[in-house]
């Protein structure tokens, strides 16, 4: 899965909102069938998601968050929404790798039913429980896992589960957020996203939140409002200034190698192969 900078949540039962989300500046859209959809509208949400996938031109990633495994809605969610244009299912309320295996089995059956190549649809675990965070290594080693979402939202499932008191500074979630990044990198996962900033009008707070988490190693953020997408894209992306810096660093290092040097000075910094490789990876990621 490509590393999305901005993933915009949208309630599945509001078709006009889905269309607006698909026309927003977000890199990807998450159509929600779970918490934001009333029970009486679950079928409508599935139908809307299916229609959006059928009409999709591939310009954005489309993920769907189904209802949890232990609900009456889950099986129909997967059977209805699995589609060749679906990027991934965002998996809610996981507790262990066994849950990922169960998801995989049902998605495989749905792919076969719809004539889709096995493995087309990826899985993105959403780590909202203390159990899932403590078992993040084994969960990310599960089948189909192409990304991960860490949860650090104010007064949400994860704060209730873990028992922390949310602050904008994020000291209380630093360990949780860091643990997920390290586990994802170790598993070779490139899409590492965080959810979410809830203060819709506080764009300055959003920017600081995104800067902090981009610095921590997150590649993107789950959003609840289209106005947040440009900020997320900027903060989780590579600025033109940084691209120029990395390109210059690589050129300086390669020139040094041609002259028989394993390390050189670039703009006052000591650089060697590790720095050049980091710059190459960052530039390659920016092009995806």
- Residue 287 scores a pLDDT above 80: no
Measuring CA to CA, which residue among 94, 89, 142, 136 is closest to residue 111? 89
The residues pairing with 9 across neighbouring beta strands, listed in sequence order, are: 30
pLDDT at 92: 94
Residue 181: its pLDDT value, please?
97
* Over residues 49-57, mean pLDDT: 95
Asked if 101 and 67 touch (Cβ cutoff 8 Å), the reply is: no
Class of the domain covering 6-236: alpha beta
Q: Which of 56-60, 69-73, 244-248 has the lowest mean pLDDT?
A: 56-60
The reported pLDDT for the residue numbered 153 is 82
Strand partners, 8: 29, 223
3-class secondary structure, 179: helix
Mean per-residue pLDDT over the chain, rounded:
95
Please say if the pLDDT value at position 72 is more than 90.
yes
pLDDT of residue 158: 84
Q: How crowded is residue 141: how many other Cβ atoms within 10 Å of its Cβ?
A: 13
> Which pLDDT tens digit goes with each residue over 244-280?
999 999 999 999 999 999 999 999 999 999 999 999 9
Classify residue 39 by burial, with Cβ atoms within 10 Å: 0-12, 13-18, 19+: exposed
Structure-block tokens of residue 42: 């679950």
Cβ atoms of residues 59 and 27 within 8 Å: no
pTM of the model: 0.90
Is residue 211 within 8 A of residue 236, CB to CB? The reply is no
Question: What pLDDT, on the 0 to 100 scale, is given for residue 154?
Answer: 80
> CA-CA distance, 179 to 16, in Å (whole number)?
38
As a whole number, mean pLDDT of residues 225-236 equals: 97
Q: Which residues contact 187 (CB under 8 A, 6 or more apart)?
A: 137, 140, 141, 145
Q: Rounded to whole angstroms, how far apart are CA atoms 249 and 259?
A: 15
Report pLDDT digits (tens) over 140-188.
999 999 999 998 888 777 888 888 888 888 999 999 999 999 999 999 9
Report the C-alpha gap between 110 and 77 in whole angstroms. Answer: 10
Structural domain boundaries in the chain: 6-236, 240-286
């Amino acid at each position: 899965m490509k590393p999305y900078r901005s993933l915009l949540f949208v309630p599945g039962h509001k078709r006009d909102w889905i269309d607006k989300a698909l026309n927003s500046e977000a890199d990807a859209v998450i159509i929600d069938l779970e918490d934001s959809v009333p029970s009486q509208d679950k079928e409508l949400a599935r139908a809307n998601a299916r229609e959006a996938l059928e009409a999709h031109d591939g310009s954005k990633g489309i993920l769907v968050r189904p209802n949890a495994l232990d609900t009456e809605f889950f099986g129909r969610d997967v059977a209805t929404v699995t589609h060749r244009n679906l990027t991934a299912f965002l998996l809610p309320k996981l507790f262990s790798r066994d849950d990922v295996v169960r998801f995989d089995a049902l998605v495989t059956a749905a792919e076969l039913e719809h004539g889709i190549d096995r493995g087309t649809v990826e899985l993105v675990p959403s780590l909202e429980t203390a159990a899932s965070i403590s078992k993040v290594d084994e969960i990310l080693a599960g089948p189909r896992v192409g990304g991960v979402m860490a949860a650090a939202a104010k007064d949400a499932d994860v704060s209730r589960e873990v028992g922390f008191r949310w602050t904008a500074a994020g000291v209380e979630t630093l360990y949780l957020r860091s643990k997920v990044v390290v586990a994802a990198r170790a598993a070779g996962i490139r899409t590492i996203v965080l959810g979410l900033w809830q203060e819709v009008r506080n764009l300055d707070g959003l920017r600081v939140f995104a800067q902090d988490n981009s610095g921590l190693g997150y590649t993107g953020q789950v959003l609840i409002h289209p106005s947040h997408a440009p900020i997320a894209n900027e903060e989780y992306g590579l600025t033109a200034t940084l691209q120029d810096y990395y390109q210059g660093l690589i050129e300086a290092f390669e020139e040094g190698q041609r002259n028989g040097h394993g390390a050189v000075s670039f703009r006052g910094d000591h650089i060697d192969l590790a720095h050049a490789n980091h710059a190459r990876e960052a530039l390659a990621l920016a092009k995806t």
